[in-house]
Structure 1
Amino acid sequence: MRPALRRLFLTALRADAEATLAGDAWTTRCLHCRTRLQVRGDGTPLGHASLEHVVAQAWFGKRAATPLTVRVGDDADDPRNLAIACARCNHDKGKGPDARGPADTRAFEVVDALLARRLARWRDTDDARAQRGTWRMPQR
């Protein structure tokens, strides 16, 4: 697995209030179905864990998705837009709402609800603030 993808997994986990690190493995729940998922401490997924872009990367830059994308800083890889999901749920979302696009009312509603769920699980960390550009080096 590419190091960049492992870093995104870790970014999602560090900013997820339901994720816990015990030993060398993170444990959390699928954003969709709440199945228990694990990711190694280095960001390598175990089992069926996958990285979920809550607002699909393809939706960024589309006018119909603007109300969603501005909530995650107009960056698909913003920690607020990253979550851990089981591969089945992530794949189903990609075939359904993501494929229909933000102009589809039902697809927009589904992604809006998922984004609200992700933001409810938000844990602000130094890493997340740094990625969003709001973190500043502490003064000495």
Structure 2
Amino acid sequence: MRPALRRLFLRALASDALAAREDGEWRTRCLHCRRRLHVRADGEALGHATLEHVVPQAWFGKRAAATLTARVGDDANDARNLAVACAGCNHGKGVSHDARGPQDERAREVVARLLESRLARWRAPETDDDEG
């Protein structure tokens, strides 16, 4: 796995109130279905863990998504927009809601609900490097 992707995983985990480091790995739950997920302490995904951009990267800069993207800043990789999800849920969202785009009302509703869940799990990272 690329080092940049590992850093994004660690950024998501460090700012997730449900994530905890135990025995050399992070443990958390899927943002969608609450399945237990594991990521090594260095950011390497284990099992079914994937990185979720809650508001899809492709939606940034689109007028129809402006209300959602404003809640997480101008950067799709802002920690508020990153979460850990199981592969099944992340893939399902990607081929359905993400693909429909922000002009689709149902897609915006789903993403808005997921963003609420992510922000409810928010905690300020303890260190600047997100790995601390």
Question: TM class, shorter-chain normalised?
Answer: over 0.9
CA distance in 2, matches of 1:73, 1:126: 20
Q: In the TM superposition, what are the counterparts of 1:108-119 in structure 2 within 5 Å?
A: 108-119=108-119
Larger Rg: 1
Aligned to 1:86: 86
- Contact 1:11/1:127 (8 A) holds in 2: no
Letter in 2 for 1:51: L
Are 1:15 and 2:15 matched, yes or no? yes
C-alpha distance in structure 1 between counterparts of 2:22 and 2:33, whole Å:
22
Deviation at 1:79, TM superposition (A): 0.0
* Pair 1:67 & 2:67 matched: yes
Conserved? CA contact 2:14–2:126, under 8 Å: no
Deviation at 1:49, TM superposition (A): 0.1
The Cα RMSD (Å) is 1.3
CA–CA separation in structure 2 for the residues paired with 1:102 and 1:37: 28
What one-letter code is carried by the residue in structure 1 that aligns with 2:97?
A: P
Give, as a single letter, the amino acid of the residue that structure 1 aligns with 2:67: P
Q: Which one-letter code corresponds to 1:41 in the other structure?
A: A
Shift of 1:21: 0.2
- Distance in 2 (alpha carbons) for counterparts of 1:94 and 1:5: 18
Determine the C-alpha separation between the residues in 2 that align with 1:99 and 1:125. 31
2: CA distance, partners of 1:126 / 1:69: 24
What amino acid sits opposite 1:97 in the alignment? H
Distance in 2, matches of 1:33 and 1:47, equals 15
Structure 2: 5+ residue runs without aligned partners? none
Q: Cα distance, 1:126 vs. partner?
A: 4.3
Q: Within 2, Cα distance between the matches of 1:127 and 1:93?
A: 31
Q: Which has the higher contact order (CA 8 A, sep 6+)?
A: 2
1: distance between equivalents of 2:125 and 2:47?
26
Aligned positions, number: 130
Percent identity reads: 67
- Tell me the TM-score normalised to structure 1 length: 0.90
SS at match of 1:72: coil
Partner of 1:134: none
1:123 Cα offset (Å) = 0.5
Return the letter of the residue paired with 1:42.
D
